[in-house]
Amino acid sequence: MRRYSILLLIMAAFAITDCAIVDHGCNMDGFTGSDVKIGDDNGATAGLKLLILNEGAWPGNSTLDILDIYHKKYFSDIFAQANPDVAQGIGNGGNDIEIAGKHIWLAMSASNQIVGINPYTYKLEVDIEIESPRCIISDDDYLYVSSYGSATYGGTLAAGRVYRISLDDYSFTSVSVGYQPEGMVLLDGKLYVANSGGYNEKKDNRIDVIDVKSFSVDEVLELPVANLNMMRKVHNEVWVSTYATYDASYNITAPSQLVVVSKDGTSKVIEGVHADKITESDGWIYAIGNNAEMTFGTDYCLYKINSTTKQATTIHFSEPNLNMVSNPYCILINPFNSDIIIADASFTGDSKLHCFTSGFNHRWSITTGIGTGHLLLYQL
């Protein structure tokens, strides 16, 4: 079951001390890479790289790859190349990726660890034990990590937790939240936490709102949808996707959905959008999902939602320009040229990354690792 394969898609910039964007392509010297054909019009600026976290074939090791967009080179399993003495590799159940403070951070759900690696050398420098970590976000001072806690699939109900890890000394504290928390966003001093309840028949429809200063839950919002998954914020609203909901006989009782939540707690379901994976760019929400899931059919779609009007445009992957995508699994928008990057995941062999223009014309495709599920653009 792919409960360990949730995606959280993030774009962030990593600035050096003088805040300039500097070409550090030489930091790949000594690593084995291969040339890739991604064209000249690829939105690359000096130092632009794409981190690619491959979940692996469950329960096998995850891997971390790098696409050097500026130099058009692909580096497979960069962690193993940089850390040959770490026998177990990067860990199992790669579930999220973030860059904050001095490190690239990875949530390894099945290995019960948060891994911090040097963004220049890719050496392992921090390893924090946290039970079943799921998603990571950050501010200037802390990492925030959602955790399933002691919950097991089909087991008794167990509250989840959110951990706050200091980017200074890596000490941490935690607070109890709902069942199987997933995505989070920070908005005006509050940390919003999406609870799924995905391990049990009781599906959670609550958002815990944590006051960042006191690091305590000061409000719980109930939504008209349950089994909450990813979160994104646009302006002063929080967008939440959900997993499809199944009964004990594995019949779908509710599709994956998309809901927008205002700061006053009111919410609106976006009709006709079947989306469990979402990202945001320039005031638009982009989502992927299966339009035919309620009938156990296959009609994978890309949805583009105007965050102001709440109107959705549906683009079917069966259309000629997009039909090379067989299993859309995560999505990222390149902010430099509005390209749409989609992971076409396989869990038995190599996956693919496909890049399309904002007009949905194919630009390039490359081969990636097993179970490509999480992407992060960054610059050094």
- What region, left, alpha or beta, does residue 160 occupy, with left being phi > 0 and alpha being psi -120 to 50 degrees? beta
- The single-letter code of the amino acid at 271 is E
User: Is pLDDT above 50 for 8?
Assistant: no
Residue 24's pLDDT is what?
Answer: 43
* Distance separating alpha carbons of residues 366 and 96, to the nearest angstrom: 21
Q: What is the pTM of this model?
A: 0.91
Q: Is the pLDDT of residue 246 over 90?
A: no
Domains of the chain by start residue, with CATH: 2-379 (2.130.10.10)
| For residue 16, pLDDT beyond 70 | no
pLDDT at 380 over 60: yes
Instruction: Specify the pLDDT at position 25.
Output: 43
Look at residue 151 and tell me whether its pLDDT is greater than 60: yes
Residue 15 has pLDDT above 90, yes or no: no
- Does the pLDDT value for residue 304 go beyond 50? yes
- Output the six-digit token pair for 99: 């860059």
Q: CA-to-CA distance for 180 and 177, rounded, in angstroms?
A: 9
Q: pLDDT category, 12, cuts 50, 70, 90?
A: very low
Of 44-48, 328-332, 345-349, minimum mean pLDDT range: 44-48
**Is residue 11 over pLDDT 80?**
no
Q: Is 294 helix (H, G, I), strand (E, B) or coil?
A: helix
**Strand ranges in 167-274 using DSSP code E only, listed in sequence order:** 172-179, 181-187, 190-195, 206-211, 216-222, 228-234, 237-242, 245-246, 252-254, 258-262, 267-269
